[in-house]
Amino acid sequence: MTVKIFYEDRIIYNFESMIEKTFCSNGRVGVITRETIFYPEGGGQPCDKGSLDGIEVVDVQETDEGVIHYLGKKNIKIPESGKKVLLSIDRDFREDNSIQHTAQHLLSAILDSNFNIATISFHLGTEYSTIDIETAGLPADFFEGVEVEVNKAIMENRQITVTFAKTISELEGIKLRKKPSVDNDIRIVQIDGYDASPCCGTHAESTGILGVFKILKTEKYKGYTRIYFISGKRSVSDYLTKHEICQNLANSMSCNVLDLEKKVSSLCSQIKFQNQETNRIKRMFAQRVAKDLETMSFRHDERRIVAHYLNDQQIDSDLMNLIAEELMDSGMVSVVLLMNNLDLKLLIVSNYDGVNCGGILREILPKYQGKGGGNNYRAQAVFDDETAMENCFNTISNLIKDLV
């Protein structure tokens, strides 16, 4: 089996080893070396990035035969067994993963010891990591308290040690956060004063390097709570980005960053009030236009029809809808046909079964390159060309007169 150098020495980033086995499957070359510094994917942590004799290693998997390094280049000459090769891993990527993974240990340990909440699963992502915890419905201030505790453990710069137990009996006396998944050669990761758990991942040497721990958000997930978090350089980058956004917003609103929330809340209230006022004025305007149009309606038996071109630059389709609504609500009109030249829209509304609005548009629109549709009582269309819309309007207007 491949000797995992990273178990013994976590800061070796280059290492020469001998090829034990190579194979090729579907053009993909896999290499097993006697030793490896590559962490294979597992335990929620992605595999290391890096290269083998300069060729990119794109995937690393642990199998019964050993740790397989899959090479990025396809159809290359398969390296010979017995040949020495240089393994190199991406240091920044490894360090970042180790920091996120250690942050997970601290978070899970504090949830377990302080609140008796178990961690169900862990995923280390490229932007953030998540754990799922065995409870749901915790308030936001609970997580603020957890953040404070994790950051306290980081500031204490606690030492992290890795030990091996040959058998489970050697672990008697150590309070483990979770049970080992193997019975022999158990790797135990301990954070002084906080955590002791069996783990095969990579970790920091002490908690101080984690810098800042931040929970980005929490959400309910399949009866559990999913916690999204970052630490290390990710937190610094997150802070710098968000600080810049807040500062730019504060500058544009001529206020202090700490007053932003109050300022935005006040602006939202103002916008809400102004929208209500605008809607009230629009409604009044629609009522006035509807009254004028009502006087211009023409009668066919008992049914009145309003067909009008709203070529006023202030009337858009929203206002046109309101005008149609007012006309129909008056109870005096059976069919309304309107169009406007602001956004080239046409609207037909009817409460008379003999005029099927959607049916009329379906039949007539293709002749005038209009797009739209609707149901029996209401339909609308939009045009690219004003003349086509006017011609369509005239055709529908004549058709309605025949129908009612």
| Residue ranges that bind Zn ion, judged by CB under 5 A | 199, 201
d(CA 260, CA 262): 5
Taking the least distance from each CB to Zn ion, the nearer of 123 and 362 is 123
Taking the least distance from each CB to Zn ion, the nearer of 199 and 389 is 199
- Given phi > 0 = left and psi -120 to 50 = alpha, else beta, which region is 356? beta
Taking the least distance from each CB to Zn ion, the nearer of 196 and 349 is 196
Least Å distance, CB 199 to Zn ion, is 3
Q: How many helices (H) and strands (E) does the chain have?
A: 8, 21
Taking the least distance from each CB to Zn ion, the nearer of 199 and 360 is 199
DSSP letters for 286-342 = HHHHHHHHHHT-EEETTEEEEEEEE--TT--HHHHHHHHHHHHHTTS-SEEEEEETT
d(CA 124, CA 234): 13
Strands 50-52 and 55-63: antiparallel
Least Å distance, CB 228 to Zn ion, is 18
Least Å distance, CB 122 to Zn ion, is 8
Least Å distance, CB 121 to Zn ion, is 13
- Cβ–Cβ under 8 Å, residues 100 and 124: yes
- Cβ–Cβ under 8 Å, residues 296 and 308: yes
Least Å distance, CB 45 to Zn ion, is 8
Question: Residue type for 368, please?
Answer: Y
Taking the least distance from each CB to Zn ion, the nearer of 40 and 201 is 201
Taking the least distance from each CB to Zn ion, the nearer of 105 and 308 is 105
92: helix, coil or strand?
Answer: helix
**Number of residues that make up the chain:** 404
User: Residue 236 carries which DSSP code?
Assistant: H
- Cβ–Cβ under 8 Å, residues 213 and 153: no
Taking the least distance from each CB to Zn ion, the nearer of 95 and 326 is 95
Taking the least distance from each CB to Zn ion, the nearer of 110 and 381 is 110
Least Å distance, CB 44 to Zn ion, is 9
CA angle 244, 128, 117 (to 5 degrees): 120
Least Å distance, CB 265 to Zn ion, is 42
Taking the least distance from each CB to Zn ion, the nearer of 201 and 370 is 201
Question: Residue type for 389, please?
Answer: M
Least Å distance, CB 375 to Zn ion, is 60
d(CA 94, CA 232): 12
d(CA 363, CA 371): 12
Least Å distance, CB 105 to Zn ion, is 5
Phi and psi at 273, nearest 5°, equal -65, -45
